[in-house]
Amino acid sequence: MPDWEDLRHFVVLAREGTLSAAARLLGVDHATVARRVAALESDTGLKLVDRRARSYQLTDDGRRIAATAMPMEEAAFAVGRAVQAAKPGLRGEVSISSPPSLANALIAPQLFRLRRRHPGIQIKLIGEKRTASLNRREADVALRLSRPSEPGLIARKIGSFGFSLYGAAAYLKQTPRHALAFIAYDDSMDDAPQQKWLKAIAAGNEIVLRTSDLENQAAAARTGVGLAVLPHFLGDPDPQLTRYETTPTPPSREVWLVVHRDLRQAPLVRAVMEFLTDCIKAK
């Protein structure tokens, strides 16, 4: 039976493609990954990778072995979840994955409540566009803007929010309707409903700024660059921004609270889920 640690390193290498990336992910030196893969090759008597100049290329055998070792990794994640779920009481770390806008505007400002109520809980708040995989234990709970379909996950809709166009009051006053400029996401967000809506509404007008960051869009809109589609929870409290009403109104989005089945009973996780629900409900 091959060394399980060797397999772990090899699986990550197979997924990441390079020694360095695998090493970063595993938190070890790249030399260690290289040596462990070599050890696995010598153990199994199979050539698993072609060592090319700048990249490790899996051989057919390598792909085959990596594929059969994947279920091991999934089982390992299940062990990790079982460990997390077995932790009694309300002490420990919980990681939350959330879209950056929600994290900044609704979660972070409320964290002090959670700490007051459960002083033993440490939060790791991951505000990333990329949806972290709960199955891979990249986070314990997540907020998502649409219902996820991954197996093993449990999702509950805990709220929704609307969008409007916002701009600086002076800008709206001075600019004739046909000359209004727009601020949009970059292409990577082309499939988001609010972006589609904007593209439709802005058909004839100029899109003067594209940025992937919502905070940037708001900042630009505040200074009179143009109109941005912002969620109400971001635009309404801002004294420098004014809604610009349109028909049709922009789409609204749902907020889903997602957790893995294995973790939903853990007291630590339940407390955080309750907190997140309050954050969204009370916005």
Q: Which residues contact DNA by CB under 7 A? A: 5, 18-21, 27-32, 34-36, 39, 51, 53-56
d(Cα 212, Cα 14) in Å, to the nearest integer?
A: 30
Residue 93 interacts with its own copies (CB under 8 A): yes or no:
no
CB 247 within 8 A of CB 197: no
* Shorter beta-carbon distance to its own copies: residue 25 or 189: 25
Shortest distance, CB of residue 36 to DNA, whole angstroms? 6
Q: Please, which residues bridge with residue 228 across strands? A: 166, 183
Residue with Cβ nearer DNA (42 or 146): 42
Token readout for 109 is 């400002």
Work out whether 200 is an interface residue with its own copies (CB under 8 A).
Answer: no
CA atoms within 13 A on the CB side of 271: 23
Distance between CA atoms of residues 112 and 129, nearest Å: 24
Site for its own copies in 61-80 (CB under 8 A): 61, 64-65, 68-69, 71-72, 75-80
36 binds, among its own copies, DNA, none (CB under 5 to 8 A by kind): DNA
Could you say which of 86, 179, 200, 203 contacts its own copies (CB under 8 A)? 86
Give me the least distance between CB of 97 and DNA, in Å please: 24
Q: Does 107 bind its own copies (CB under 8 A)?
A: no
CB of 132 to DNA, least distance (A): 21
> How many CA within 13 A on the CB side of residue 281?
10
236 vs 245: CA distance, rounded Å: 13
The Cα 99–Cα 80 span in angstroms is 24
Q: In the complex, what is the shortest distance from the CB of residue 17 to its own copies, in angstroms, rounded to a whole number?
A: 20
Nearer residue to its own copies within complex by CB, 105 or 269: 269
Length of the chain: 283
Distance between start and end Cα atoms, the chain: 55
The answer to whether 170 contacts its own copies (rule: CB under 8 A) is no
Strands (E), 182-252: 182-184, 207-210, 227-231, 242-244
The reply to whether 28 sits near its own copies by the rule CB under 8 A is no
Q: Is 135 helix (H, G, I), strand (E, B) or coil?
A: coil
> With binding defined as CB under 8 A, does residue 138 bind its own copies?
no
Q: How far is the CB of 84 from DNA (least distance, A)?
A: 22
Q: Show the tokens assigned to 113.
A: 């409540």
The residue ranges that bind its own copies (CB under 8 A) are 1-5, 7-8, 44-46, 61, 64-65, 68-69, 71-72, 75-83, 86-87, 137
